[in-house]
C-alpha cells in the first residue's frame, strides 16, 4: 500500500515561506483527519482533513505496472505574483503550472540530468561556494514566481480549447487593462519543463521580463532540480503554419498545433525521446496536434521565425516582448533575489567555518 506524504507551509509575502509541519497517510479511499507534525519535539501543529477517491485503471497491464497513477482532469494554476510586480515592476507576463497525467507511462525510467558540459548549468549545480549564491537566488526567484497569491487563477483543462485558452492575450490583459487582441492566442515562444518531482508542466514566455539575468530559464522553472523528465521550448501555430492563415478567422475556429522541441542547454534532453514527448502531450490534450522536433531541425527554426514575424505584425505583440527585456530603471528579479541569496549563502558558509 502506498503512502501520501504532505508538507504544510505558511504563505509569506517575502522570499521565504514558513515551514509548519508534515504528515503521512495511506492512499486508501475515504475521508480522513490527520495531525500535522512539527519539527520541534514533534509537536502537533494542527489537523488536516483530506478526502481520497480512487478508481482502478481499466488497462490491466498498466494497473499491474502502475498501481497508483493519477488519471484525473488536468488542473492548472496561472501565476502572477504581486510581490514580483511590487519589487521589480515586471508585470508583463504570466507563468503557468499544469498538472499532467501519464508521465510514468510515456517516460518510464527516463530522466534528463543537468548538462555537466554547459557552463550556465555548472554555475548553478556543480556545487561549491561560488554556485551556492546562484543556486539560492534562482530558488528564491522560483518561490516568488510560483507563490500562491490573490491574483492567481486556478481551473481545469477539459479539452484542447482549454489548453489553447491558457495562451490567450487576455491573461495578461487582466492586469494591463485589456486591448484589441484580448481573448486571442498570444503568439510567442514558451520555455517549459516537465518536473520529475511532481509531474507538472511548467512554462512561461521565453521573452518574459522576469527571466532577465538568470543563468538558466529552465532551472528557474525546475527550482534548480538536478533532473527533469524533459525540457525545451514550444510555440503555437495554426494547422499547416502561418503562410496560408487569415487573421479574419476567429481563433476558436482555428485548429491549433503546438511545435515543441528539446532546446534546453541546462538539461540537453535526449532527442530520441521526442516521439514519446509528442504522444505524451497528445494524450493529455486530445485533439491537439503536436509536432516534436529536435532543436537543430530546420523545420523548427522556420516555424519559430514565422511565429515571431506574425506576432508583432498582426497580434500587437511588441518586438521587445519576444526576447527577455527590462525597461530603463527597472530592477530585475534576478538582482533582487541574488542580493538576498548572497546574504543567505554567506550565513550558510559561516556555519561551516
DSSP state of 319: G
Residue 191: pLDDT above 80?
yes
Residue 247: pLDDT above 60?
yes
Q: Which residues of 326-342 are buried (b: 16+ CB within 10 A; e: fewer)?
A: beeeeebbbbbbbebbe
* Range 325-350 average pLDDT: 56
* Strand-pair category, 289-293 with 256-261: parallel
- Report how far residue 242's alpha carbon sits from residue 307's, in angstroms, rounded to the nearest whole number: 8
Residue 24: pLDDT above 90?
yes
Element (H, E) at 285: none
* 112-167 pLDDT, tens digit each: 999 999 999 999 999 888 888 888 888 888 887 777 766 677 777 777 777 777 78
3-state secondary structure (DSSP) of residue 20? strand
Residue 75: pLDDT above 80?
no
Regarding predicted confidence, which is higher, 95 or 128? 128
Q: What angle do CA 218, 299, 222 make, to 5 degrees?
A: 10
Find the length of the chain: 353
User: What nine digits make up the cell of 22?
Assistant: 508534515
- Report how far residue 66's alpha carbon sits from residue 236's, in angstroms, rounded to the nearest whole number: 32
Q: At what angle do helices 333-352 and 129-145 cross, to 10 degrees?
A: 130
3-state secondary structure (DSSP) of residue 35? strand
Which of 3-12, 25-34, 79-88 has the least mean pLDDT? 79-88
* Range 189-214 average pLDDT: 82
* Range 170-183 average pLDDT: 52
* 282-294 pLDDT, tens digit each: 988 888 899 999 9
Residue 317: pLDDT above 90?
no
Compute the 3-state secondary structure of the chain and give helix, strand, coil in percent, each to the nearest 5: 35, 25, 40
pLDDT at 77: 74
* 26-68 pLDDT, tens digit each: 888 899 999 999 987 889 999 999 998 877 766 665 655 666 6
Contact between residue 104 and residue 63 where contact means Cβ atoms under 8 Å apart: no
Which of 116-120, 173-177, 201-205, 222-226 has the least mean pLDDT? 173-177
- Closest of 264, 301, 298, 259 to residue 277, by C-alpha: 259
Which are the contacts of 188, defined by CB distance < 8 A and separation ≥ 6? 167, 205, 206, 207, 235, 307, 311, 317, 321, 322
Average pLDDT, the chain: 80
How many CA within 13 A on the CB side of residue 47? 4
pLDDT at 177: 46
pLDDT at 90: 42
Contact between residue 280 and residue 161 where contact means Cβ atoms under 8 Å apart: no
Residue that has been written with the C-alpha cell 506524504 in this structure: 5
Regarding predicted confidence, which is higher, 208 or 35? 35
- Report how far residue 179's alpha carbon sits from residue 31's, in angstroms, rounded to the nearest whole number: 46
Regarding predicted confidence, which is higher, 73 or 297? 297
Regarding predicted confidence, which is higher, 84 or 243? 243
pLDDT at 173: 45
* Range 299-321 average pLDDT: 88
Which are the contacts of 248, defined by CB distance < 8 A and separation ≥ 6? none
Amino acid at each position: 500500500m502506498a503512502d501520501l506524504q504532505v508538507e504544510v507551509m505558511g504563505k509569506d509575502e517575502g522570499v521565504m515561506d514558513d515551514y509548519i509541519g508534515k504528515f503521512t497517510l495511506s492512499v486508501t479511499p475515504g475521508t480522513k483527519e490527520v495531525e500535522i507534525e512539527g519539527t520541534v519535539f514533534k509537536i502537533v501543529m494542527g489537523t488536516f482533513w483530506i478526502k481520497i477517491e480512487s478508481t482502478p485503471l481499466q488497462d490491466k497491464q498498466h494497473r499491474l505496472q502502475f498501481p497508483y497513477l493519477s488519471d484525473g482532469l488536468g488542473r492548472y494554476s496561472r501565476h502572477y505574483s504581486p510581490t514580483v510586480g511590487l519589487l521589480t515592476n515586471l508585470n508583463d507576463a504570466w507563468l503557468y503550472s499544469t498538472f499532467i497525467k501519464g508521465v510514468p507511462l510515456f517516460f518510464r525510467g527516463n530522466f534528463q540530468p543537468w548538462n555537466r558540459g554547459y557552463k550556465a548549468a555548472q554555475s548553478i549545480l556543480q556545487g561549491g561556494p561560488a554556485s551556492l549564491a546562484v543556486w539560492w537566488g534562482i530558488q528564491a526567484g522560483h518561490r516568488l514566481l510560483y507563490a500562491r497569491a490573490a491574483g492567481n487563477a486556478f481551473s481545469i483543462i477539459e479539452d484542447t480549447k482549454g489548453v489553447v485558452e491558457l495562451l490567450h492575450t487576455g491573461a495578461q490583459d487582466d492586469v494591463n487593462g485589456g486591448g484589441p487582441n484580448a481573448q486571442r492566442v498570444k503568439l510567442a515562444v514558451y520555455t517549459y519543463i516537465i518536473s520529475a518531482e511532481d509531474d507538472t508542466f511548467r512554462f512561461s514566455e521565453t521573452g518574459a521580463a522576469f527571466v532577465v539575468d538568470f543563468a538558466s530559464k529552465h532551472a528557474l522553472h525546475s527550482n534548480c532540480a538536478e533532473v527533469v523528465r524533459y525540457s525545451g521550448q514550444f510555440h503555437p501555430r495554426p494547422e499547416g503554419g502561418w503562410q496560408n492563415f487569415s487573421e479574419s478567422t476567429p481563433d476558436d475556429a482555428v485548429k491549433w498545433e503546438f511545435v515543441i522541441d528539446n532546446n534546453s542547454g541546462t538539461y540537453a534532453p535526449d532527442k530520441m525521446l521526442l516521439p514519446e514527448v509528442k504522444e505524451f502531450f497528445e494524450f493529455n490534450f486530445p485533439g491537439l496536434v503536436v509536432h516534436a522536433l529536435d532543436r537543430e531541425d530546420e523545420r523548427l527554426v522556420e516555424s519559430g521565425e514565422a511565429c515571431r514575424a506574425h506576432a508583432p505584425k498582426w497580434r500587437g505583440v511588441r518586438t521587445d516582448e519576444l526576447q527577455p527585456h527590462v525597461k530603463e530603471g527597472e530592477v530585475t528579479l534576478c538582482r533582487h533575489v541574488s542580493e538576498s541569496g548572497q546574504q543567505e549563502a554567506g550565513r550558510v558558509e559561516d556555519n561551516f567555518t
